[in-house]
Amino acid sequence: MKRHLISAADLTRDDAVLILDTAEEMARVADRPIKKLPPLRGRTVVNLFFEDSTRTRISFEAAAKRLSADVINFSAKGSSVSKGESLKDTALTLEAMGADAVVIRHHSSGAPHRLATSGWIKGSVVNAGDGTHEHPTQALLDAFTMRRHLAGAADGGPTHHRGPGDGTGRDLAGRKVTIVGDVLHGRVARSNVHLLTTLGAEVTLVAPPTLVPIGVESWPCEVSYDLDAVLPTSDAVMMLRVQRERMNAAFFPTEREYARRYGLTGDRMARMPEHAIVMHPGPMNRGMEITAEVADSPRCTAVEQVTNGVSIRMAALYLLLGGNEPALAPSAAADKPARTEETSTP
């Protein structure tokens, strides 16, 4: 993972499994009376959010606090950013305050990468969603949820809705995952395609042609326009939110037509294999991409995904900040020495 977590595509299979295994141990702390661990005592984690996000921010905040880090929340609204401060000056300010890690969400794709490679800050950078690019911790928590349900039984198979199991050490080899909805604006879809493929799963994207990005042919996945055709062979179906705030152009005629063709209803869910799960990163538009019947069924893991998000972010922060250097394989070590030289020379 190097010293930053910018993109799910940077993670090797071993890195990803290590993060998931670490999250499995972190998840056990949630059952204890004292939900607190000491490894990040004295470290400062800054949540730098240029875009509104309640759940991701509080998830990172809870994760950092459970590991005993000090958390500083910096939201662009009402800060010097709204007075026109650049990303660079904000970063230099955070560096001067001694941030050991910066968790950044930005409306521009590539902002976390810029922050990590510019030499402005010495700490680790964690991408919490950048533009339409990536959202790696969301993909990790989705993979974690899938592993617990689809590889959590004692024999490594699905748990058949008898509650999540422990999939420590396993990957998602051979599992079929269908991601339905707005792939064009969804950074969740891109991160998931990379991570799930790395873990051995076969991913199919289902969306109206207008919501499939150009260049999708180069992604390691299939693309389909017919939801009903892929449902019977899916082990997990992930419904993405229709992002109304990004729908200024007409991507589909009406919401009703979208819901009819791409929404997950009770009838459609019945056509999925008996062990298959329904996932949703939230917030859900009930009646749009998912009906209330499906959202409230025991097969829907939306609430569990929120819980797992805290465990995954604890794992990522621990592996990045727990030692004097990150635990994960220096897969892209090439850019690391160059960067440290650059920062140490002045």
Partner 1 sequence: MDAPSQPPGPASSTSSGHSSGPEIDARPVLEAPDIARVVTRIAHEVVERAKGAHHVVLLGIPTRGVFLARRLAAKLEEITSRAIPVGSLDITMYRDDLRLGPARTLARTEIPTAGIEGRLVVLVDDVLFSGRTIRAALDALNDIGRPRAVQLAVLVDRGHRELPIRADYVGKNLPTSLRETVKVQFTELDGRDSVLLGVRPTSPRGGAEGERADAGQ
Smaller CB separation from partner 1, 25 or 335: 25
Distance CA 145, CA 163 (A): 11
Smaller CB separation from partner 1, 299 or 336: 336
Q: Which of 251, 237, 223, 316 is nearest to 281 (CA)?
A: 237
Smaller CB separation from partner 1, 206 or 328: 328
Distance CA 339, CA 226 (A): 46
Pairing of β 44-49 and β 202-206 = unpaired
Smaller CB separation from partner 1, 25 or 95: 25
Q: How far is the CB of 38 from partner 1 (least distance, A)?
A: 6
Smaller CB separation from partner 1, 25 or 222: 25
CA atoms within 13 A on the CB side of 40: 27
Smaller CB separation from partner 1, 38 or 84: 38
Q: Which of 276, 298, 267, 245 is nearest to 132 (CA)?
A: 245
Structure tokens at 251: 């991507």
List residues near partner 1 by CB under 8 A. Answer: 18, 21-22, 25, 28, 32-34, 36-39, 318-327
Interaxial angle between packed helices 13-29 and 187-198, expressed in degrees from 0 to 180 and rounded to the nearest 10: 110
Structure tokens at 227: 């939801």
Smaller CB separation from partner 1, 57 or 66: 66
Structure tokens at 113: 């990468």
Q: How far is the CB of 143 from partner 1 (least distance, A)?
A: 18
Distance CA 346, CA 342 (A): 8
Smaller CB separation from partner 1, 34 or 249: 34
Q: What is the CB neighbour count within 10 angstroms for residue 34?
A: 6
Distance CA 299, CA 146 (A): 12
Q: Which of 306, 305, 317 is nearest to 71 (CA)?
A: 317
Q: How far is the CB of 25 from partner 1 (least distance, A)?
A: 4
Q: How far is the CB of 114 from partner 1 (least distance, A)?
A: 25
Distance CA 210, CA 43 (A): 45
CA angle 248/266/183 to nearest 5° reads 30
Return all residues near 182 (Cβ < 8 A) that are at least 6 apart.
189, 207, 211, 240, 241, 242, 243, 246, 251
Q: How far is the CB of 280 from partner 1 (least distance, A)?
A: 29
Phi then psi for 75, rounded to 5 degrees?
Answer: -110, 145
Distance CA 269, CA 2 (A): 40
Smaller CB separation from partner 1, 302 or 315: 315
